[in-house]
Amino acid sequence: MPHTGSIQGSRVSLLIGLLFAIQLVSMGAMEMSGPFWPLHLRGLADSPTLLAFASITVYVGPMLGIILTSTFWGRIGDRYGHKWMMLRALAGLSLTQLGLALCNDLWLILILRFVQGACAGYIAPAQAYGVSIVAPQRRARLFALLQISTNVGSLLGALLGGLILDHGSFFWINLGAALLCALCTLVAARTLPDVPPVPKAPPTPASAVPLGSLWRSSPLLPLLLVMGLLLLARMLPQTAFALYVSSLFAVSHSLVGLCYGLLALGFILAASAWARYFENLPLGATLQRLGLVVIACMALTAVAGLTRNALVFALAYFIWGLLLGATTPVLMALISKSAAPSRQGQVLGLAQGTTQIASIAGICLGGLLNQVYGLQYSYLFVCLGYLMALLAIVALGYRLRAGAIAQPLSKD
């Protein structure tokens, strides 16, 4: 790696630990308000229709902002350094959260949420910064660790937000998030060293190959497709989860929350181990094992959809979370290795945009299917989503064996 010569050993471990802590606190700060926006908007909407629209838009708006800008910010980071993009994102989160704390107009809140996604987008530059300081073979562990920090932050942030809302108003949730993000900005500015951008490689004969041919021979787009399909399948039961569990199993709201949290807990416990398992495997072997993981996910979601026992459902969700630790972090590492060092920010920004598109598609499609066919088929559609992802993995493996797809190129 071009910059690891100047940042070695325990220094790299310390920096990765700082990245973990900053992402945990900042993402936790954002999740303090995450589950409670509909409750806040209910007092600002004039009609049930407007409330339904606002309750969707308040979540989709930041995703759309990230989709439209993440690749652009990634290119800027490739040119000027990813630390500056991290600081820009953290400052954007702090300022927009402060605006949300002071705002009581529904439409302005929705606009600010969109601006938040467009101006922030912290995860992609943090990943690109991490890639610039770790060895290539440890990228899967890096992505797993950063996703673990996001999941832990989400769990703790939602809990803290609930405690604040029990004893105060929504204003204090957003103000607290703004202060935490401002603190993260200062810590990142003072503790993380500048890593100069990787210079672009000099022109080679390969540069004469048409761009479309280079994309067709790269595993990048198929890997993005696989990751998007896996995330889409995961998000299909999102909107109906609480209603499904509470109506089918007749359990308390706390047990509904426990079942939901078991998925994240499984991911947190297993992601690093999966990353170590996959990190030295070639692309073909990785795809074979990833296909087996997807088949296991299909089986578990089928069990979740067929069982009428709450304990079995909760156990299936926990094991499903364990398996999910072998999906996105591993695929993000492969996507990173499929791009040149000088284009990490752009490609990881593209990957971040893909995850947002897949999340929106999964949430919207899941809600539509539930309305048309009913809650009882929720997890059947998840199985079908995983089947589509499995077919994409098989197709990529076939093209790889046929020589139509090149191995990931990053050996830096």
Q: C-alpha angle 192/194/196, rounded to 5°?
A: 150
The pLDDT of residue 200 is: 60
Q: Please report the pLDDT score of residue 208 as a whole number.
A: 40
Determine the pLDDT at residue 198: 66
Q: Token pair of 132, please?
A: 């610039």
Question: Structural domain boundaries of the chain?
Answer: 7-194, 211-404
The fold for domain 7-194 equals: Growth Hormone; Chain: A; (1.20.1250)
Q: From CA 408, how far away is CA 282, in angstroms rounded?
A: 9
Q: What is the pLDDT along the chain (412 residues), one digit of tens a residue?
A: 445 444 555 688 888 889 899 999 998 898 888 767 777 888 888 888 888 788 778 888 888 888 888 878 888 888 888 888 889 999 999 999 999 999 889 999 999 999 998 887 788 888 888 888 888 778 778 888 888 888 888 778 877 887 887 788 889 999 999 999 999 999 999 998 888 776 665 544 444 444 444 456 678 889 999 999 999 999 888 767 767 887 888 777 667 767 777 888 888 899 889 988 998 888 899 999 999 999 999 999 999 999 999 999 999 999 999 999 999 888 988 888 887 777 777 788 788 888 888 988 988 888 788 878 888 888 999 999 999 999 999 999 998 888 777 666 554 4
410 backbone dihedrals φ, ψ, rounded to 5°: -75, 110
- The CA distance from 338 to 221, in Å, is 10
Distance between CA 40 and CA 105 in Å, rounded?
A: 11
- Mention every residue, 6+ apart, whose C-beta is less than 8 A from residue 277: 326
pLDDT score, position 13: 83
Predicted pLDDT at 345: 75
For 273, residues 6+ apart whose C-beta sits below 8 A from its C-beta are 325
Question: In 3D, which of 33, 254, 261, 275 has the Cα closest to residue 152?
Answer: 261
Contact, 365 vs 232, CB < 8 A? Answer: yes
What 3-state class would DSSP assign to 8?
coil
Structure-token pair, residue 270: 């297993």
- Give the whole-angstrom CA distance, residue 219 versus residue 344: 15
pLDDT of residue 1: 42
Tell me which fold the domain 211-404 belongs to: Growth Hormone; Chain: A; (1.20.1250)
Do 7-194 and 211-404 have matching folds? yes
Do residues 124 and 73 touch, judged by C-beta distance below 8 A?
A: yes
Question: If you ran DSSP here, which 8-state letter would residue 32 be given?
Answer: T
Q: Can you list the alpha helix ranges (DSSP code H) found in 374-408? A: 378-401
Tokens of 320: 């499903």
